[in-house]
Structure 1
Amino acid sequence: MIRVEGLYKSFDNKTVLSDINVVFESKKVNLIIGKSGSGKTVLLKSLIGLHTINKGKVLYGDRDITAMTSRQIKLLREEIGVVFQGGALFDSLTVLENVKFPLNLFTNFSEKEKNERALFCLRRVNLTDADHLYPAEISGGMKKRVAIARAIVLKPKYLFCDEPNSGLDPLTAIVIDNLIQEITHEYDMTTIVNTHDMNSVFEIGEKIVFIHEGRKEWEGTKEEIADSDNKNLNDFIFSSKLYKKLKHVLK
């Protein structure tokens, strides 16, 4: 479980996040949704310590990342896997070398052990014959799967994904969604995903947090969205015709 208490974040005296209070549930796929510029990516980066917040707490169990030393944060990050929006693969490294990268940083494994672990993770994301290829030689969907393999190579307790379906066709996006859901439950991870993909909301969202203009306006389950009376949430998710159709289906 990750608990956020009274989180504020500003850049150049401009407030981006205001008084965010939310609990991201263990062993579930938690989604953060909102318009571009709403603050959801800033929130995700604040959760993992890439942004220093102005006020508030981010608690991993009883550990507050905002009060940790740099060494403590490094130890915590061994429990964290991150899938960045563009995949963030190293172009000069092969697929196998990209997946091994966290093992090189955080473990004392032998080269054989690192290869075995990396190849296991590549098999888990259904990439069995791509280990020798470079990022430029694989598709966008494959890059996302490599990024997921790298994110889980250290057997993390927490998985963060920033717009994992960005730039993917609808069918490939479904594959990535299903993979995220499967590994969350398989490894009992607390998963937090930033997304604007409404298919993700209705297919894999177990806990959903809606951010609007830097504030948390709504939280609940995908089933509860249909009954929400929050205008900003409804305007974000549904066009008028689609809203009526989906609302009927979800009920």
Structure 2
Amino acid sequence: MITIKNVCKSFDGRMVLKDISATFEKGKTNLIIGQSGSGKTVLLKSIVGLHDIDDGEIFYDETRFDTLSFTEKKQIRQKIGMLFQGSALFDSATVEENVMFPLDMFTEMTYEEKLERVNFCLKRVNIVNSNHLYPAEISGGMKKRVAIARAIALNPEFLFCDEPNSGLDPKTAVVIDQLIKEITEEYNITTIVNTHDMNSVMGIGDKVIFIHQGQKWWEGTKDDILDSDNKELNDFVFSTELTKKIKGLK
């Protein structure tokens, strides 16, 4: 579980995050949504520690993260998996080498042990017989799955996904969404997904937090969205008329 309390962040005197508090639950897909510029990406990066917050508290389980030293934060980060927007695979490394990278960095496993873990993770994301291919030789959907395999290589307790469906066709996007949800539940991971894809929200949104102008404007489940009378949320999710039609069918 990750808990944030009264988090504030500003850049050059401009307040980007304003007093945000939330709890991200273990074993669930926790989604952060909002318009471009709303602060959702800054929030995600602040939780991971890529941005130092100005005020507030960030807890990973019972450990307060924001006040830790660099070395202490590194110990927490070894429990974190990251799925970046563009997959962020190393172009000059094979699929196998990409997934093995965190194992090389953070473990003292033998090569045989690392290879066994790599193959396990690749099989879990339904990639076989592709170990020696390079990113340029595989599809966008396969790149995302390789990135997920790399993200879970260290068996993380926390998983962060930044726009995981960016650049994917709708059918492949659904596959990636379901894979993230399955892995979250299977390994009881605290997963936080930053997205603007409403198909993802309505498909896997166990918990949804809507950020508006740097503030937490609404939170609930995917099912709660259709019953919400929050104007800003409805404006973001639906057109006004579509909202009325969908709610009228319930």
For this structure pair, what is the TM-score category when the shorter chain's length is used for normalisation? over 0.9
The Cα of 1:139 is off from its aligned counterpart by: 1.0
- Which residue pairs with 2:162 in the alignment? 162
- Which residue pairs with 1:87 in the alignment? 87
The Cα of 1:41 is off from its aligned counterpart by: 0.8
The Cα of 1:246 is off from its aligned counterpart by: 3.2
Once the two structures are superposed, residues 1-26 of structure 1 have per-residue CA deviations (whole angstroms, 9 ceiling, x without a partner) of: 11100101111111111100111111
Runs of 5+ unmatched residues, structure 1:
none
Please give the TM-score of this superposition, normalised by the length of structure 1: 0.97
The runs of at least 4 aligned residues of structure 1 exceeding 6 Å deviation read none
1:150 is aligned to 2:150: yes
- Which residue pairs with 2:237 in the alignment? 237
- Which residue pairs with 2:185 in the alignment? 185
In 2, Cα distance between equivalents of 1:211 and 1:31: 11
In 2, Cα distance between equivalents of 1:187 and 1:26: 10
In 1, Cα distance between equivalents of 2:241 and 2:118: 46
The Cα of 1:242 is off from its aligned counterpart by: 2.7
In 2, Cα distance between equivalents of 1:50 and 1:216: 20
In 2, Cα distance between equivalents of 1:196 and 1:18: 20
Greater alpha carbon shift after TM alignment, 237-246 vs 27-36: 237-246
In 2, Cα distance between equivalents of 1:43 and 1:228: 23
In 1, Cα distance between equivalents of 2:74 and 2:240: 47
In 2, Cα distance between equivalents of 1:245 and 1:164: 29
RMSD: 1.0
In 2, Cα distance between equivalents of 1:245 and 1:27: 33
Count residues in correspondence: 250
In 2, Cα distance between equivalents of 1:165 and 1:67: 33
Query: Which amino acid counterpart does residue 10 of structure 1 have in structure 2?
Result: S
SS in structure 2 of the partner of residue 66 of structure 1: coil
Query: Which amino acid counterpart does residue 225 of structure 2 have in structure 1?
Result: I
In 1, Cα distance between equivalents of 2:192 and 2:244: 28
Query: Which amino acid counterpart does residue 171 of structure 1 have in structure 2?
Result: K
Sort the Cα spacing of 1:128 and 1:248 in 2 relative to 1 into closer, same or farther, 3 A: farther
Alignment of 1:1-251 (within 5 A): 1-248=1-248, 251=250
The Cα of 1:245 is off from its aligned counterpart by: 3.7
Once the two structures are superposed, residues 16-55 of structure 1 have per-residue CA deviations (whole angstroms, 9 ceiling, x without a partner) of: 1110011111110000000011111111111111111111
SS in structure 1 of the partner of residue 235 of structure 2: helix
| Identity score, percent | 62
The Cα of 1:163 is off from its aligned counterpart by: 0.2
